[in-house]
Structure 1
Amino acid sequence: MAAICKVKDIARHPPAVIATPTSPIYQVLQNLTARLIRHAYIVDEKGSLLGVASAKDIINFLGGGWKYRIVKQKYSGELWKALCSEPIESIMTRRIVTVNAGDSLVEAINSFLKYDVGAFPVLDEKGRLWGSLSERHIMKLLAHHHAYVKVSEIMSKP
């Protein structure tokens, strides 16, 4: 792991699913399922991150939570019409925790633990969306890393 020490070395660049605020929820849902991922990043025309739409946000909208009120109030309960018409910005999460492409993996791992999230949007030095870092990226790195160190050499002692 010493050779790979920055977020940019293992994060997905560019992110798998990027959408605009006006993208219909159904379009984002299709893109997420086609790529087998759980997070779409919503950006403006300059690439600035506006929000994140997760599988949980969509499930909430479909009837599992408070976002379903949009379907009931605006579309009289017509789920299909709501899915095809409602923009993703209405259900995206706007308060976002991010990591930077130049951050160390240690910083990123600590952020995973601190914020209890499964993925982070990765920003470049100008604050624009650069990529995505998920727990899966960290796990793949660790699964393919051969330290050749005895566990007793790195274990903490009671």
Structure 2
Amino acid sequence: MKPKKSIKSYIYERDKRKCRLCSKYLKYQQASLDHYLPRSKGGTGDVFNLILCCKKCNNIKKSSIPEDFEELMITLFKIGVRDRIIKASLPRFSTKDINSITESVDRLEAINNYVVFQSKTHRLYVKNNSIKKIIYIGSNNSSE
């Protein structure tokens, strides 16, 4: 399945028009998107798992899992929320609240078909470039 052109355009600009693996500058037509954590290993099509990649590096990487995948995905998640490409329609939380919660994220997990970004105080359940639920840890309060 090909990503939407708008997603590719966003990632092309986010990654500063360079292959994230070799730093080569790419023309838009030369650029491909790589699932940093491969789909075959549980990776998703969300923007925090897609990187700009030249065809050569994409072919070399294939379905290997980079050691820094968790760190990079957390960083790209934070950027995606800041850029509002990752959305949240949760009435209890303002954009400012969501940005603040997101900045404290320091780990990720996979739980029931969601990618879960977690801080010391919150879990953010993400699917299809959307924050579906935020749970305050240590309480039964949640917003869906």
Which TM-score tier does this pair reach, normalised by the shorter chain? under 0.3
Q: Which structure's CA Rg is the greater one?
A: 1
TM-score, length-normalised on structure 1? 0.24
| Higher normalized helix content (fraction of residues) | 1
TM-score, length-normalised on structure 2? 0.25
| Higher normalized strand content (fraction of residues) | 2
Larger relative contact order (C-alpha < 8 A, sep ≥ 6)? 1
